[in-house]
Amino acid sequence: MFDFHTHTFLSDGELAPTELIRRAVHIGYQVIAVTDHVGPGNLEFVIKTLVKDCELASRRWDILALPGVEITYAPVDDIDVMARDARALGAKMVNVHGETVVEPVEPGTNHAAVSSMHVDILAHPGLITSDDARKAAENGIFLEVSARRGHGFANGHVVRTAQEAGAGIVLDSDAHAPEDLLTREFALKVARGAGLDDDEANMLLDSSPLDVLKKIGVSYP
């Protein structure tokens, strides 16, 4: 399993970073990105903490742990700058909290995210437009198929729009608690529920994550 969107008690998750990573090791994860919610005030603290914990976990355990962020509810005009700053501070994975259908995210967030060369994944982008999906394709930004309750309501739309636009998709847990981490069996159900056939679902779990790692310049295995 590969998972590029998880949270710890550095934001609104339940576990310490090292516990989250250890639990992921235990259930068979190969790669995990820890991407706590950030705004301008906690950006530096979160990244510096995650860099240390992910480096330690990757060295001691059989897993690649990547420090990252999810830029969340940031003003639209500040998303690109925050993404650039996150990268400069050491974030390997830069996600943006997209315009999910279950939260009042500022309109234009999706467009700002897919227009930034410093963003890797637009998380749960909700009813993303075709124009923004095409922009994501142009900039190599992946659109997320979300396994999280609520955020996954628009998965079918995300998949169809991404396919029409030629944009990459990736399936993530958006885990906030240990029970949110994914088994392959459940991840395949989420992928099938989003409208993918068996072959497409397996490619989403096996091939798309390797494309994400290639984008961020990380070799695996």
Burial code (b: 16+ CB inside 10 Å, e: under 16) for 33-66 equals: bbbbbbbeeebeebbebbbebbeebbeeeebbbb
User: What's the mean per-residue pLDDT of the chain?
Assistant: 98
Residue 170 in this model has a pLDDT that exceeds 90: yes
* 220 — pLDDT class (breaks 50, 70, 90): confident
Q: Are 70 and 123 in contact (CB under 8 A)?
A: yes
Residue 12 scores a pLDDT above 90:
yes
Please name every residue paired with 67 in a beta bridge, in sequence order, or none if there are none. 34
CA–CA distance, 143 with 132 (Å, rounded to integer): 10
What pLDDT score was predicted for residue 221?
82
- The answer to whether the bond into 221 is cis (omega within 30° of 0) is yes
pLDDT tens, residue by residue, 18-72: 999 999 999 999 999 999 999 999 999 999 999 999 999 999 999 999 999 999 9
169/163 Cα distance (integer angstroms): 9
**Domains of the chain, earliest start first:** 2-215 (3.20.20.140)
pLDDT tens sequence across 110-154: 999 999 999 999 999 999 999 999 999 999 999 999 999 999 999
Whole-model pTM: value is: 0.98
Tokens for 105, please give them: 């995210």
Q: What percent of the chain has pLDDT over 90?
A: 99
